């Protein structure tokens, strides 16, 4: 049995989850995940590493399904709740999942697809009750979860994580950030990415803590939850802190003070998934009395570097390696750089993913000799703390904490009948970190709002360009390759 589920049996009576006004104990979670595992197994003894995709609202149902898949010996594939159908079917086809579990409201999106493709569809609350099955032994070496990440290829890749990977990531954070059963965290993050799944949901449940779900991010509702005085840990991406600060500034002085007092009582506030601007760190300090703990991670490795819980939390820095994680900085020839010199971050440890699904070449390319994972992020080591300098690829954009491939958006844009050529880049932006921007070559007039609507049917909303520019031609080098650093200034004109 996966260790997180074994641990739950140690605190059956404790409240695990608050969701939509209801409270659930660890015992409830064990019961619901057992039922779901039994339904998934039907007459099988073990799902034997079958992929089970699920599109379930954040909350008790989500965790029951995730644990149920694990308990039945399956691989959990969480789907993004806001993706358009082509992005969902890409994941379903790539993982070859033949079972999908959904919240009822997603039947209108996936029901027909499941029927047409002979996939088994389990709608939560409507599943056929089966006799409780004997659940299989699931060792830590088995695959647990596949998360999709955009990268330097035009199509997202499935990152295969084993139970051992997840357990290593969770135990490192539990130790470094002092998690305990007395903690209470609120989740506002999407649950198809590592930040929400591991750092928030799994760490809290591993430790017997309490987890409140807010289904959709809203600054006002989040402040209401903070003011209830029960939550004492919070984690989010920089854009969310930016939005909370902007909202707080508009509030009456009395409510501002109440929020300040409530936040001052927190044990811990963490920020990551994208660079935390120093201005956001300072504003949040004034509002909450907390110095945000910034850390650095990635889907393939979980968290690698973190500012300390006790000790200096340095602005603009991501701290030191977490327990059990080896980190080195290397130059282009693969040699380690001297302190103070920039190099690519490479990571090794039991936290590092097993492979990219069905992509042996991409997996091989991702590792340097000696089994070091190449992150593609550049950093420098200064006085014992790592500082992120940027990325080796211009084709990766981080917006609102989401990793976005410029190549993927370009490929879709090129399918539009009026677009002859295009280049997608990230423009620096205080709120979003980077804004997706597209320079397009077209000999016809383009209606950019119609283009946005056209794109929204094909790619997730957060990948749709926020700025467009029509150009005569794109700057290209002698080899014909677009010179992206020269595209950016075109938007300033």
- Binding ligand MLC (rule: CB under 6 A), the pick from 7, 12, 328, 466 is 466
Per-position b or e across 359-383, b if 16+ CB within 10 A of its CB: beeebeebeeeeebbbbbbbbbbee
- How many Å apart are CA 228 and CA 261, to the nearest integer? 11
Point out which span in 160-168, 211-219, 294-302, 346-354 binds ligand AMP (CB under 6 A): 294-302
Residues belonging to the chain:
493
- How many Å apart are CA 56 and CA 126, to the nearest integer? 14
- How many Å apart are CA 20 and CA 27, to the nearest integer? 19
Indicate the residue among 50 and 317 with the shorter CB distance to ligand AMP.
317
- How many Å apart are CA 45 and CA 32, to the nearest integer? 18
- How many Å apart are CA 442 and CA 86, to the nearest integer? 26
Residues 189-218, interacting with ligand AMP (CB under 6 A): 194
Q: Counting contacts by CB under 6 A, is residue 296 touching ligand AMP?
A: yes
Q: Enter the tokens of residue 475.
A: 């700057």
Q: Which residues pair with 438 in a beta bridge?
A: 424, 468
Point out which span in 33-41, 134-142, 309-317, 460-468 binds ligand MLC (CB under 6 A): 460-468
CB 203, min distance to ligand AMP, A: 16
Point out which span in 31-39, 112-120, 136-144, 290-298 binds ligand AMP (CB under 6 A): 290-298
Main-chain phi, psi angles of 152, to 5 degrees: -90, 10
Indicate the residue among 71 and 195 with the shorter CB distance to ligand MLC.
195
- Residues 385, 320 contacting (CB under 8 angstroms): yes
The C-alpha R_g of the chain, in whole angstroms, comes to: 23
- How many Å apart are CA 245 and CA 20, to the nearest integer? 25
Q: Counting contacts by CB under 6 A, is residue 402 touching ligand MLC?
A: yes
Q: Counting contacts by CB under 6 A, is residue 302 touching ligand AMP?
A: no
Indicate the residue among 183 and 434 with the shorter CB distance to ligand AMP.
434
Indicate the residue among 182 and 461 with the shorter CB distance to ligand MLC.
461
Q: Counting contacts by CB under 6 A, is residue 156 touching ligand AMP?
A: no
Point out which span in 6-14, 115-123, 200-208, 236-244 binds ligand MLC (CB under 6 A): 236-244
Quick one: which of 371, 298, 288, 270 has its CA closest to 328?
Answer: 371
**Residue 171 touches which of ligand AMP, ligand MLC, none (Cβ within 5-8 Å per kind):** none
How many CB atoms within 10 Å of residue 328? 17
Instruction: For Cα atoms 191, 197, 199, give the angle at the middle one, nearest 5 degrees.
Output: 135
- Binding ligand MLC (rule: CB under 6 A), the pick from 26, 62, 179, 432 is 432
Point out which span in 59-67, 71-79, 273-281, 405-413 binds ligand AMP (CB under 6 A): 273-281
- Binding ligand AMP (rule: CB under 6 A), the pick from 272, 302, 343, 400 is 272
CB-based burial of residue 11 (10 Å sphere; 0-12 exposed, 13-18 middle, 19+ buried)?
middle
Q: Counting contacts by CB under 6 A, is residue 143 touching ligand AMP?
A: no
Q: Counting contacts by CB under 6 A, is residue 435 touching ligand MLC?
A: yes
Q: Counting contacts by CB under 6 A, is residue 239 touching ligand MLC?
A: yes
Quick one: which of 450, 446, 424, 449 has its CA closest to 435?
Answer: 424
Which positions touch ligand AMP (CB under 6 A)? Answer: 149, 194, 272-275, 294, 296-299, 318, 375, 377, 388, 391, 398, 403
Q: Using CB under 6 A as the criterion, which residues of the chain lie in contact with ligand MLC when the complex forms?
A: 189-190, 193-196, 217, 237, 239-240, 272-273, 297-299, 399-402, 432, 435, 461-462, 466
């Amino acid at each position: 049995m996966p260790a997180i589920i074994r641990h739950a049996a140690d605190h059956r009576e404790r409240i695990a989850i608050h969701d939509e006004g209801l409270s659930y104990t660890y015992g409830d979670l064990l019961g619901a995940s057992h039922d779901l595992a039994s339904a998934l197994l039907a007459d099988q003894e073990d799902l034997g590493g079958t992929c089970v995709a699920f599109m379930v609202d954040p909350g008790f149902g989500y965790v029951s399904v995730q644990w149920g898949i694990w308990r039945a010996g399956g691989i959990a594939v969480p789907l993004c709740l806001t993706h358009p159908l082509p992005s969902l079917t890409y994941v379903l086809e790539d993982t070859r999942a033949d079972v999908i579990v959904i919240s009822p409201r997603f039947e209108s999106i996936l029901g027909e697809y499941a029927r047409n493709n002979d996939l088994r569809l389990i709608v939560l609350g409507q599943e056929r009750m089966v006799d409780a099955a004997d659940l299989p032994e699931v060792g830590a070496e088995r695959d647990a979860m596949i998360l999709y990440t955009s990268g330097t290829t035009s199509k997202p890749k499935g990152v295969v994580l084993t139970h051992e990977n997840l357990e290593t990531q969770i135990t490192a954070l539990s130790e470094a950030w002092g998690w305990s059963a007395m903690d209470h965290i609120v989740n506002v993050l999407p649950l198809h990415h590592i930040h929400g799944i591991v750092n928030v949901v799994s760490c809290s449940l591993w430790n017997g803590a309490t987890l409140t779900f807010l289904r959709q991010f809203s600054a006002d509702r989040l402040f209401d939850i903070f003011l209830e005085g029960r939550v004492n840990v919070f984690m989010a991406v920089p854009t969310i802190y930016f939005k909370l600060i902007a909202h707080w500034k508009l509030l009456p002085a009395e409510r501002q003070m109440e929020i300040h007092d409530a936040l001052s009582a927190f044990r811990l506030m963490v920020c990551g998934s994208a660079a935390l601007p120093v201005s956001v760190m300072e504003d949040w300090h004034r509002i909450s009395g907390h110095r945000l703990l910034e850390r650095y991670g990635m889907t393939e490795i979980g968290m690698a570097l973190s500012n300390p819980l006790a000790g200096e939390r340095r602005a603009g820095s991501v701290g030191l390696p977490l327990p059990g994680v080896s980190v080195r900085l290397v130059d282009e020839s693969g040699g380690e750089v001297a302190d103070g010199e920039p190099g690519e971050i490479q990571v090794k440890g039991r936290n590092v993913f097993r492979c990219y699904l069905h992509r042996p070449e991409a997996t091989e390319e991702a590792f340097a000799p000696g089994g070091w994972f190449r992150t593609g992020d550049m950093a420098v080591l200064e006085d014992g703390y790592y500082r992120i300098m940027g990325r080796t690829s211009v084709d990766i954009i981080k917006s609102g904490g989401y990793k976005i491939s410029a190549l993927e958006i370009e490929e879709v844009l090129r399918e539009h009948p009026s677009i002859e050529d295009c280049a997608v880049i990230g423009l620096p932006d205080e709120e979003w970190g980077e804004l997706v921007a597209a320079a397009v070559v077209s000999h016809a007039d383009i209606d950019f709002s119609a283009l946005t609507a056209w794109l929204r049917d094909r790619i997730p909303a957060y990948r749709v360009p926020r700025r467009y520019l029509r150009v005569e031609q794109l700057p290209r080098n002698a080899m014909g390759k677009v010179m992206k650093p020269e595209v950016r200034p075109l938007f300033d004109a």
